[in-house]
Amino acid sequence: MISDANVHGTAAAPPSNVTMPMQRRHHMMMHMTFFWGKNTEILFHGWPGYDRLWMYLLSLLVVFAFAIAAEWLTSAAGVLGKSSDGWAARVLRTASYAARTGFGYLVMLAVMSFNGGVFVAAVAGHSVGFFFFGSRAATKRPAVCGC
């Protein structure tokens, strides 16, 4: 037997004698614009959690470290590229590339939480990483004089 509600494309209400299990999970709405606050989810469900400032600060530190690691691996790729073209060097360059890509994607996904603190931590991590590993200060290359 087909009810009128199903024929017209609307769902019928469940019968009153059916008991639905009550779920007590805290559902967080996903933001689609930048927001500030510690109540967010970054990379994993339930992380850093709800109303836990110390976990939020730890997650910002992790994003910061991932961004620095991505910059370090980018600079290491230049050093590895100058090594021999043997089989071991190719494997090392490939592993470095895979790790750099992984860190880059993790930082990108963290920023997609639209949390302002995460965004600032990612940009700061990339900037600090570039300063130490990608700038002239780290490589100590002589400046080219246009004399």
pLDDT value for 128: 97
pTM score of the predicted model: 0.69
Instruction: Supply 96's token pair.
Output: 């470095």
Of the spans 30-39, 78-87, 105-114, which averages the highest pLDDT? 105-114
The answer to whether residues 64 and 132 touch, using CB atoms and an 8 Å cutoff, is no
CB 49 within 8 A of CB 43: no
Q: What is the pLDDT of residue 106?
A: 95
Q: What is the pLDDT of residues 30-57, one digit of tens each?
A: 678 888 988 888 888 887 878 889 999 9
* Domain boundaries along the sequence of the chain: 53-137
Looking at residues 106-121, what average pLDDT do you find?
Answer: 95
Mean pLDDT of 56-75: 94
pLDDT value of residue 88: 83
